[in-house]
């Protein structure tokens, strides 16, 4: 029996926020969980998880060799008795023989969290400590990877992100993948409906009071306040703060018209599909409701959440 649920997203798209929600929901305590103790499951690219399962060091393998072995590691979970919820930033790539990077028999499904790329760009620039233009270049670069240094050992193995559009498409169109897609903006604007849909998909408790409490305990203000007071170990060392804005539409103050145009040029098709552009191709701060997106109607049965406003 498969046991892995992937919490999949391009970086800076709300994955950690969702994990904070999940941990709060599972613990169901009277105060928010400590953000340094988000322990729902290892990230897919954690070297420790791979080494432990394989029985030999991935540090002595090339990045391509590691990619070839990753599916077997996740498939090894096929008879685990407990469900696992694991973050993953890799694109849903496949090996030459068609095996997906996440394997086949170990995977139960994927919750894909997507966020307006106009808002991803400033956040990713901060994460990488690079310029906005550089972040926009990364998001448009099909060769872009995380943890790809070949000259030293990193605690995570290389993750191929592809371009932002390719990343989203790889997960949304992966054949035979049980999946639910939720948008960061719906998590913000329609939290109860969106998180409930996610809980239903992920076989989590559906008690509304409990979900409301977990939403409140993982509110951006709570996460940000905790980080200010006690720090957050997942923060990249050179950045000031991990939980920075937690808003949508921030791009209007952060990006130049040229930068907006470039992102729309690179990713317009996928942005339209996800409701981030209006009928005239202009960017929206509040994305169109899923139900209005004809292209996605067919995907509803396939697991795309239709969160009615």
Partner 1 sequence: MYYSAYQLTIASELPLPELVQVNGTQTDVTIRFDNVAENGLADGEQLGPFLWAAPNTLWLQVPNVARFLVRNGNEIIIDPADGIDDDSIRVFLLGSAFGALLFQRGLLVIHGNAVRIGDECLICVGPSGAGKSTLAAAFMQRGFDVLADDVVPVNDAGLALPGFPRIKLWQDAAEQFEIVTDDLRRIRPEMNKFNLPVNGVVQQALPIRWIYILGSDHIDEITFEAINGMAKFMPLQNNTYRAKFLHGMQLKSQHLALCGKLASKIRLSRLTRPKLGFTANAMVDAILKDIEVNP
Binding residues (CB under 8 A) for partner 1: these are 47-48, 51-60, 62, 65, 68-69, 72-73, 75-76, 149-155, 231, 233, 235, 237-238
Q: How far is CA 294 from CA 70, 201, 289, in A?
A: 36, 22, 10
C-beta of 158 vs 183, nearer to partner 1: 158
Q: How far is the CB of 281 from partner 1 (least distance, A)?
A: 42
The secondary structure of 52-79 as a DSSP string is HHHSS-GGGS-HHHHHHHHHHHHHGGGG
Q: How far is the CB of 73 from partner 1 (least distance, A)?
A: 7
Check residue 246 and give left, alpha or beta (phi > 0: left; psi -120 to 50: alpha): left
Q: How far is the CB of 237 from partner 1 (least distance, A)?
A: 4
d(CA 15, CA 21): 10
C-beta of 75 vs 185, nearer to partner 1: 75
Q: How far is the CB of 108 from partner 1 (least distance, A)?
A: 18
Q: Is 244 exposed, middle or buried (0-12, 13-18, 19+ CB in 10 A)?
A: middle
Contacts of 37 (CB under 8 A, 6+ apart): 23
> Of 35, 30, 71, 29, which Cα lies nearest the Cα of 53?
71
C-beta of 76 vs 220, nearer to partner 1: 76
C-beta of 38 vs 270, nearer to partner 1: 38
Helix (H) or strand (E) holding 285: none
Q: How many CA atoms lie within 13 A of 11 on its CB side?
A: 27
First CA to last CA distance, the chain:
36
Q: How far is the CB of 43 from partner 1 (least distance, A)?
A: 14
C-beta of 61 vs 216, nearer to partner 1: 61
C-beta of 233 vs 252, nearer to partner 1: 233
Q: How far is the CB of 128 from partner 1 (least distance, A)?
A: 15
């Amino acid at each position: 029996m498969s046991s892995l649920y992937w919490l999949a997203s391009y970086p800076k798209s709300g994955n950690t926020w969702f994990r904070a929600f999940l941990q709060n929901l599972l613990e169901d305590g009277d105060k928010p969980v400590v953000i340094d103790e988000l322990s729902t499951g290892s990230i897919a690219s954690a070297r420790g998880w791979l080494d432990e399962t394989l029985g030999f060091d991935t540090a002595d393998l090339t990045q391509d060799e590691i990619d070839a072995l990753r599916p077997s590691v996740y498939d090894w979970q096929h008879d685990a008795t407990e469900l696992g919820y694991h973050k993953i930033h890799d694109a849903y790539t496949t090996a030459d023989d068609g095996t997906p990077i996440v394997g086949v028999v170990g995977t139960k499904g994927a919750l894909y969290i997507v966020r307006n790329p106009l808002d991803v760009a400033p956040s990713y620039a901060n994460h990488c400590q690079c310029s906005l233009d550089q972040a926009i270049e990364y998001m448009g670069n099909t060769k872009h990877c995380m943890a790809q240094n070949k000259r030293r050992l990193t605690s995570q193995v290389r993750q191929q992100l592809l371009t932002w559009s390719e990343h989203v498409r790889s997960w949304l169109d992966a054949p035979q993948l049980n999946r639910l897609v939720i948008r960061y903006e719906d998590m913000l604007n329609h939290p109860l409906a969106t998180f409930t849909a996610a809980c239903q998909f992920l076989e989590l408790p559906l008690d509304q009071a409990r979900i409301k409490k977990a939403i409140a305990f993982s509110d951006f203000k709570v996460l940000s306040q905790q980080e200010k007071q006690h720090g957050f170990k997942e923060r990249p060392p050179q950045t000031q703060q991990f939980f920075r804005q937690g808003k949508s539409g921030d791009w209007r103050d952060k990006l130049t018209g040229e930068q907006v145009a470039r992102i729309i040029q690179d990713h317009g098709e996928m942005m339209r599909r996800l409701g981030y552009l209006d009928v005239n191709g202009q960017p929206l701060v509040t994305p169109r409701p899923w139900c209005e997106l004809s292209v996605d109607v067919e995907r509803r049965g396939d697991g795309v959440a239709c969160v009615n406003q």
